[in-house]
Amino acid sequence: MLKLTNVTTMIGEHQVIHDVSLQIAQGDFVALLGGNGAGKTSLFRTIVGVLPPAKGKIEFKGEEISHIAAYKIVGKGIALCPEGRQLFPQLPVYKNLMLGAYHRKDKKGIEETLEQVYTLFPRLKERYKQMAGTFSGGEQQMLAIGRAIMSKPELLLLDEPSMGLAPLVVEGIADAITQLNKMGITVFLSEQNAQIALMITRHGYVMENGHLVLEGLSKDLITNDKVKKAYLGT
């Protein structure tokens, strides 16, 4: 579904992504591991068109999207749930969700997707009139994921969804993400929390300083000595 070939990204004079190549199959559930500053967010922003690649090729379902505008990429079926959630705090839950569907014209389909979001996160339905800025961190993360789902993505990129959340809340978010994958959405999950990421995904990549340094099945990576030492604290 997604294929990157020798992708390099620059921010000004600084090279943040170095010749990254990876593939994600339709329906897969993939982790991108790495510490703060490893380049995970820059890679995601490159995939969705916010940062144009300096070189290399990005393909989605066989079509090159390397230099397509971000809003058009959303319309093709890729959604990003960004690091830090980036909600509209002065707008209620319902309007934040509907902004995720801004490019869609199928009114009935939008209503069906909204019900899917409410089924996955019942609290959003209970508080659909509440201002997003008054939510707890966990509730805001639910809303950010729900907004991304409203675009009806085939591929969902989740950038650090567990950041700053209590362990019990992280478990609930992980369960919800797993349910999304079971619903048929391909998921690419960026995480510093390697333990939770490798427990729920099937395949993983490890990124350091803008380079991919390891890849493999999640069940193998979780027992890899380098991964255990760097990310699992063992």
Per-residue model confidence (pLDDT) at position 128? 94
Per-residue model confidence (pLDDT) at position 67? 93
d(CA 159, CA 157): 6
Per-residue model confidence (pLDDT) at position 193? 85
Q: Which two tokens stand for residue 179?
A: 């349910």
108 by Cβ neighbours in 10 Å (0-12 / 13-18 / 19+) ranks as exposed
Consecutive H or E run containing 6 = strand 2-11
Considering Cα of 23, then 183, then 136, then 144, what sign does the dihedral take? positive
Per-residue model confidence (pLDDT) at position 232? 65
Cα-to-chain-centroid distance, residue 157: 2
CB 56 within 8 A of CB 93: no
Per-residue model confidence (pLDDT) at position 3? 98
d(CA 77, CA 134): 30
Q: Torsion angle of alpha carbons 170, 1, 48, 133, nearest 10°?
A: -30
Phi/psi of residue 47, each to 5°? -60, -40
Phi/psi of residue 181, each to 5°? -65, -40
Residues of the chain with pLDDT under 50: none
Strand 203-208 and strand 29-33: the pairing is parallel
Per-residue model confidence (pLDDT) at position 163? 87
**Strands of the sheet with 53-60, listed across from one edge:** 14-24, 2-11, 53-60, 63-64
Q: Which two tokens stand for residue 8?
A: 């390099």
Per-residue model confidence (pLDDT) at position 108? 96
d(CA 103, CA 92): 20
- Check: pTM over 0.95? Answer yes or no: no
CB 113 within 8 A of CB 150: yes
Task: Reply yes or no on domain 2-231 having CATH 3.40.50.300.
Answer: yes
* Domain locations in the chain as residue ranges: 2-231
Per-residue model confidence (pLDDT) at position 153? 97
